[in-house]
A and B are shown apart, each in its own frame.
Chain A
Amino acid sequence: MMKCDVLITGVGGQGQILASRLIGAAAIIENQPVRTGETIGMSQRGGCVVSHVRIGGESKSATIPFGYADLIIGFELCETVRSLNRLSPDGGLIVNKQTINPVTVSLGMEAYDTEAMEKALQAKTDKRLIVDGYGLAQQAGSVKAVNVVLLGAAVGSGFLKLSRESFIEAIKSTVSQKFHELNVKAFELGYGFANMAMK
């Protein structure tokens, strides 16, 4: 497999770290060298959280440079736009259409311009897929599974070139057993949606 740098971006609490661990585990199942890097700590509590996953073993550092990401999996609209400058010119986008207002917006101190953000995505690349991650996760049984829905979409769209089987195996070896069914279902819903959408 060619080098594949995947950036996961969203709001603290959306499960980005599990998502990056699952990609890492799936890569290892396929004998791919991989590095990941996370933001843990202050940034978790409702702040921006970015996870970096670098598959292919070309780099010593885990942080994806600007313009290098082959894929951004955006868990939240605004946070996706914030990280767009890390996307490579021919990189792909998987974006959860969910918006989460920062408290500063609820307090009226700042504006959240959804339309302008959607335009920024359109202007960046045509290689993009918008996913109703929240809705599909609800369908799977819990909105907490939105992270795994988006991973399913990333694989189903063909943007992330790791196999569906590797992810199912990664879920089973990483997630605690009582959540296997939920996560596998979430993955399949995301996978199925993206697979259809790309046809």
Chain B
Amino acid sequence: MIESRCIVLLKLLMGNEAIALGAIKAGVNVVCGYPGTPSTEVLETVAKHNDGSIYVEWSVNEKTAMEVGAGAAYSGARTMVTMKQVGLNVASDPLMSLAYIGVKGGMVILVADDPGPLSSQTEQDTRHFAKFSNLPVLDPTTPEEAYEMVQYAFELSEQVGLPVFLRPTTRICHACAPIEVSEEKINHKPEGFIKDPKWVIFPSLAYKRHIEIEKLQSHLSDLFDKSAFNAVSGQGRLGIAASGIAYAYACDALKAMGSDVKLLKVGTPYPFPKATAESFLNEVDQVLVLEELDPVVEEALLELCAQKALCVKVLGKKDGTTPCCGEFSFEIVYNTIAKYIGRDVPAAAEAPSQPLPSRPPVLCAGCPHRASFYAVKKAMKGKKAVFTGDIGCYTLGNAKPLNMVDTCLCMGASISVAQGIKRVEPDTTLFAFIGDSTFFHTGIPGIINAVYNQTNLVLVVLDNSTTAMTGHQPHPGIAKTMMGNVSEKVSIPRILKAIGIKNVWTLNPFDQKAAINAVQDASQINGVSAIVFEAPCIAIIPKPKALSVENDKCRACGLCVKEIGCPSQYVTADKKVHIEPSTCYACGLCKSICAFDAIGGEA
């Protein structure tokens, strides 16, 4: 049922905003997810434009989100679950079974991939997960296409009774394009949950469903052959197949060189549009495959060539024609195509004429994590200790001069990795650092494991009252929900005590003396002890007046800079230290280090 309002507006939308507005237009009823770059803005945009008819939540982790989404889709709701690529690893348990059970309401699993990677721990390719779980996947080339695809994904999901993946990459998620946004939207009324044995997975049902799902794969391939998301253009016996942002680069490159090569656009990499691809292959002698991350389209073409006994040479990642890792760029695609079709390859862009200083991301000025790390570092100076880290802003504590993150693996791993190291090195003190949102995400089972198995370690929770890295989303410890309600705060210290940790300190890391004492005490305890460092992220507090250095008093020793590496401090040619007032949050950590009382202002 379409509502009669029909106002069309041209808006500059980020890919993630376009996906959110497309989902709203498609009548989405329930949206849940866990923040993760580059996917976060999808859920935030739905919440921002929610007229109250959509249920939106940040779930505690991706597995929970997938399960909440499954329940909603069982009940007939149009549902979207959002996460980044590594989040899907966490959600893979419900995903694999859900692919067998299927859905009633349309369910879109929005997973954003991160070639590069720009802000992730892996370059994994979600298209493999689609293939692995036998679920269809749509791969947009532009924000405009993502807007169309998300709407189609809901329809398709209901048509085949399976969840559908929408898999944009960073350059789609975080690019803006003008999109005609229509105010009309589908009014989807969920039927409700109808009891039926089909919702209960048993081995016998799994076998039956497996047969049906396999049959659906060729049906989906046929459907995709008719889809406008797959298309062939151009002419000649040299073909190019491209998907995602690589297709956009290919179009731009071909335009720049004035070429009209035969080009297959693959918008549905799985199930592969076999008939479309076969007729394309029949008309070419060679195919250059352009796709980021893994050779998914390339493998599908190779398989098709073998199956149909087609004599077409397939060039791509497998033979080293295109890079197998990292992001593609206009230049990579242009040069690859130029070489392929016999055009001149332009000279590489000139490098800067002199070496420039690097500028890695750092903990912000005033960040409480800096104070927490510094307290632990001071307290453990000269002692044998290993510091396991986790996923969040505080991973940046690995940089000099703090140098306080010895391991980082995945969400929640700080606590469990520490236990493994402790079992091999009993004389080392293990500190596991974890942020508040990560603690709720997957930290808790690891702590229970340590208590149960009597593994000595010091847990350090860095509680800055937000999910900072992804742009300050709320979590159970803050109790604000995406529906604008306030629930009861889940207290981290109380959870730790309930698990059975007897010694739990809760303090402000900027009280360095107390913090150092607590760390020293905690490190002496037999069993699991915990310190919860509580101080809000600077991005969620009003900016106080900056501290300043009294030039006469500064002896140019540079100790404050060398100890903590605060980005607000800079050193002039006379070696004296200065503080940039626009970024200083007056945390006072530098002041506590200065032996000459040269740093003034209210900390």
Contact = CB atoms under 8 A, between A and B. Distances in A.
A47 B361 contact: yes
A41 B356 contact: no
A44 interface: yes
Nearest to A65: B330
A153 B141 CA distance: 34
B565 A106 contact: yes
A11 B359 contact: yes
A47 B245 contact: no
A41 B248 contact: no
A62 B357 contact: no
B178 interface: yes
Contacts of A38: 174-176
B12 A34 contact: yes
Contacts of B329: 63, 65
Interface stretch (B286-294, B381-389, B567-575): B567-575
Nearest to A67: B349
Nearest to A41: B119
A12 to B, nearest CB: 7
B93 to A, nearest CB: 27
B279 interface: no
Contacts of A13: 364, 583
B401 A107 contact: yes
Counting contact residues on chain B (CB < 8 A from A), the size range is 35 or more
Interface of A: 11-13, 20-21, 24-25, 28, 33-48, 58-63, 65-67, 78-79, 81-82, 84-86, 100-113, 116-117, 120, 123, 143-144
Contact of A113 (B141, B354, B471): B354
A61 B12 CA distance: 15
A165 B275 CA distance: 53
A45 B400 contact: no
B177 interface: yes
B409 interface: no
Nearest to B37: A41
A147 to B, nearest CB: 13
24 contacts: A12-B361, A25-B12, A28-B10, A34-B178, A35-B175, A36-B175, A37-B171, A37-B174, A37-B175, A40-B37, A42-B37, A47-B361, A60-B248, A60-B252, A63-B171, A63-B329, A66-B331, A78-B359, A79-B359, A102-B567, A104-B359, A104-B360, A107-B561, A144-B582
A91 B252 CA distance: 20
A111 B331 CA distance: 30
A24 B14 CA distance: 11
A42 B119 contact: yes
Q: Nearest 5 A-B pairs (CB), nearest first?
A: A41-B119, A66-B349, A47-B361, A60-B248, A41-B37
A85 B11 CA distance: 31
Interface string B1-18: 000000000111000000
Nearest to A110: B357
A65 B331 contact: yes
Given A42-B361, A79-B359, 13 more contacts: A11-B359, A21-B12, A37-B176, A39-B118, A41-B470, A46-B361, A61-B175, A62-B171, A66-B331, A101-B570, A106-B571, A107-B401, A120-B353
B532 to A, nearest CB: 23
Interface in B343-380: 349-354, 356-364
A34 B13 CA distance: 11
Given A48-B359, A103-B567, A107-B561, A85 B352 contact: yes
Contacts of B176: 20-21, 24, 34-38, 62
